Amino acid sequence: MPQPLASLSPSLVDQLVHLDPLFGTILEAHGPAPDWRRPAGFTSLLHIILEQQVSLESAQAAFDRLQARLGTISPPALLSLSDEELRACAFSRQKTRYARELARALISGQLELEKLGDGEEAQVRAQLCAIKGIGQWTADVYLIFCLDYPDIFPVGDIAAINSVKELTGLVDKEAVVRRSQNWRPLRTAATKMLWHSYLCRRGRTYGQ
């Protein structure tokens, strides 16, 4: 997770509690969730790609190694590294390919990240997912952390799904997704509360 800037506003949390009592359970146990955000752009999207299907700690370690090697992370700087140099930064073969695809898309103008925040969610999602290595989960996390779209629930996120299961006793993902419809139009804030619960129940520290 990125470092929190502040907690979600009390009024927003109150709205969530009104929509579903499970958020009252989270609030009573752990307080309001941090309002995690990351700056929009290449480095954040690359970091999210590194977080695919690995622990947050592993992704952070790879990102930190890349930053130590390059200083400033940019598409041209990343492309200047050989596959061997990226492997030394703990990039897998797959993540190396995805990182290069993203860097090339930005250099060519195929993807213009600075313009994404002005588009409809479906349009933004389609542009992101047109790049090899970016799927729905990566798009969801970028929409939540970097573009602050208000009504995103990442159905492919294990932590969010498991958090609902732990709090409600629901046993299958489809039931969780159905329940998430009750949280419209505040599913982004709901997701942050669910991540908050997931981390707190495991004694995890924000930023890990």
- In this predicted model, what pLDDT tens digit does every residue of 127-174 receive, in sequence order? 999 999 999 999 999 999 999 999 999 999 999 999 999 999 999 999
Q: Which long-range contacts (CB under 8 A, 24 or more apart) does 122-127 make?
A: 124/149
Domain that holds residue 179: 4-36+152-201
- 190's tokens: 């709901």
3-state secondary structure of 82: coil
Is pLDDT at 68 greater than 90 in this prediction? yes
The answer to whether residues 136 and 157 belong to one domain is no
As a whole number, mean pLDDT of residues 9-23 equals 96
What's the mean per-residue pLDDT of the chain? 93
Domain count, the chain: 2
As a whole number, mean pLDDT of residues 199-205 equals 85
Among the candidates 105, 120, 145, a domain finishes at 145
Percent of the chain with pLDDT over 70: 96
Q: Which of 56, 44, 23 is nearest to 196 (CA)?
A: 23
- 34's tokens: 């941090």
The answer to whether residues 27 and 115 belong to one domain is no
Is pLDDT at 2 greater than 60 in this prediction? no
Q: CATH code at 175? A: 1.10.1670.40
Query: What's residue 205's pLDDT?
Result: 59
The answer to whether residues 30 and 91 belong to one domain is no
